[in-house]
């Protein structure tokens, strides 16, 4: 099955009791047993829910994986993966990381004796340099947030295999439509389903996909033991959102390119960060491992003044000023004062995250309207 067919059909069957073509919302906490231990595979809804099962199977298929597990948020999914580790284990991760991931690593799991190294993973050779005999996990995010760095997944996998560490790729920014890390040898794929997969800014959810039966079993144990599961209504909404994932992603990519053309010719725009630009330092790798470049764009303004950026941020009408990304409607954000404000200015600037950096999540509206909106705001 090709992607456009999978989003509609993989793991999804009409309801056997009624023929309902849409997966029912099994809004139940428990299931009646005929005799103790004699049940239909469902005992308690933290452990299994039929609506969730369908979504998990569909997500697994979209990532070319065998197993999918859903969690109450992307962070709950991250939490489960970290609990695969033991005190003394080390993690090597990128230095341009989703803020919440950086927070759970440094503020939660460091206290449990896990050590984290943050390195510019997009620079070839840096991963190997930081790895030790204790390194048990490589944590990749590509493209990164907000600098849109691209990490070579296959090269990271090769480095990890030589010391039997696991590789997890946070594939939220690309979505399974643009990139499938399991195909490149990654052990685990993580999604904030909240973003492109759900796509309508109305659900918070996370997912993990793997091909490894042993890892899946340990993660399923953690999903049930720790309890960060999504409710069936949210699973239904995500199943509904996924049906148009390919169509939305196509438009996100097209609109992204239109916005890039506009920004590249604007006299007030300085640097543009987008993996689809031939001048992007990792463009060649992006072309190899991605099928398109998506709708996430960061750019800076000439002169690098915070107040100029803030004027743009409050000047747009279609681009809504908000955190998050990946929804059908366009969003605009300011990492220095919003998502990355907790990182000291010198640290931010070391990674290129300047005060005038603006991040766009380009939606699926008319590209001309989006350009007009941004043009008026930049002035």
Ligand X SMILES: *Cc1c(COP(=O)(O)O)cnc(C)c1O
Stretch that binds ligand X, among 33-41, 71-79, 328-336, 342-350 (CB under 6 A): 71-79
Closer Cβ to ligand X, 238 or 272, answer by number:
238
Query: Which single residue is written with the structure tokens 């995250």?
Result: 353
Mark residues 189-218: x for contact with ligand X by CB under 6 A, - for none: ---x-xx--------x-x------------
Minimum distance from residue 76 beta carbon to ligand X (Å): 7
Q: Is 46 a catalytic residue?
A: yes
User: In the set 79, 170, 234, 308, which binds ligand X (CB under 6 A)?
Assistant: 170
Stretch that binds ligand X, among 73-81, 150-158, 207-215, 266-274 (CB under 6 A): 73-81
User: In the set 53, 126, 142, 145, which binds ligand X (CB under 6 A)?
Assistant: 145
Q: Is 273 a catalytic residue?
A: no
Stretch that binds ligand X, among 2-10, 111-119, 127-135, 169-177 (CB under 6 A): 169-177
Count, residues near ligand X per rule CB under 6 A: 16
Answer yes or no whether residue 142 interacts with ligand X by CB under 6 A: no
Q: Is 195 a catalytic residue?
A: yes
Answer yes or no whether residue 101 interacts with ligand X by CB under 6 A: yes
Pick the catalytic residue from 98, 177, 273, 274.
Answer: 98
User: In the set 23, 172, 339, 351, which binds ligand X (CB under 6 A)?
Assistant: 172
Give the residue numbers annotated as catalytic, written as ranges.
46, 98, 170, 195
Contacting residues toward ligand X, per CB under 6 A = 73-75, 98, 100-101, 141, 145, 170, 172-173, 192, 194-195, 204, 206
């Amino acid at each position: 099955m090709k992607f456009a067919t999978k989003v509609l059909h993989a793991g999804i069957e009409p309801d056997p009791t009624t023929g309902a073509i849409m997966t029912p919302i099994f809004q139940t906490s428990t299931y009646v047993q005929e005799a103790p231990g004699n049940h239909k595979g469902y005992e308690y809804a933290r452990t299994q829910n039929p609506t969730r099962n369908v979504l998990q199977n569909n997500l697994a298929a979209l990532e070319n994986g065998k197993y999918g597990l859903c969690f109450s948020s992307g962070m709950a999914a991250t939490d489960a993966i970290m609990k695969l580790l033991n005190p003394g284990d080390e993690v090597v991760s990128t230095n341009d990381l989703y803020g919440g991931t950086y927070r759970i690593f440094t503020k939660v799991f460091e206290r449990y004796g896990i050590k984290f190294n943050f390195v510019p993973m997009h620079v070839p050779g840096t991963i190997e340099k930081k790895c030790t005999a204790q390194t048990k996990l490589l944590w990749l995010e590509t493209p990164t947030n907000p600098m849109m760095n691209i990490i070579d997944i296959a090269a990271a996998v090769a480095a990890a295999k030589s010391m039997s560490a696991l590789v997890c790729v946070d594939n939220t920014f690309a979505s399974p439509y643009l990139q499938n890390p399991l195909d490149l040898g990654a052990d685990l794929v993580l999604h904030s389903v909240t973003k492109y997969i759900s796509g309508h800014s109305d659900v918070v959810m996370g997912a993990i996909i793997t091909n490894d039966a042993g890892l899946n079993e340990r993660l399923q144990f953690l999903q049930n033991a720790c309890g960060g599961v999504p409710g069936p209504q949210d699973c239904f909404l995500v199943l509904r959102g996924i049906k148009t994932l390919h169509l939305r992603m196509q438009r996100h990519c097209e609109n992204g390119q239109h916005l890039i053309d506009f920004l590249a010719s604007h006299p007030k725009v300085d640097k543009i960060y987008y993996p689809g630009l031939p001048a992007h330092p990792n463009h060649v790798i992006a072309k190899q491992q991605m099928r398109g470049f998506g709708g996430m764009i960061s750019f800076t303004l000439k002169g690098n003044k915070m107040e100029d950026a803030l004027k743009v941020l409050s000047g747009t009408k279609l681009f809504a000023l908000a955190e998050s990304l990946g929804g059908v409607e366009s969003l605009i954000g300011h990492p220095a004062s919003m998502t990355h404000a907790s990182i000291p200015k010198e640290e931010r600037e070391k990674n290129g995250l300047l005060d005038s950096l603006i991040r766009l999540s380009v939606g699926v509206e008319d590209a001309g309207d989006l350009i007009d909106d941004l043009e008026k705001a930049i002035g």
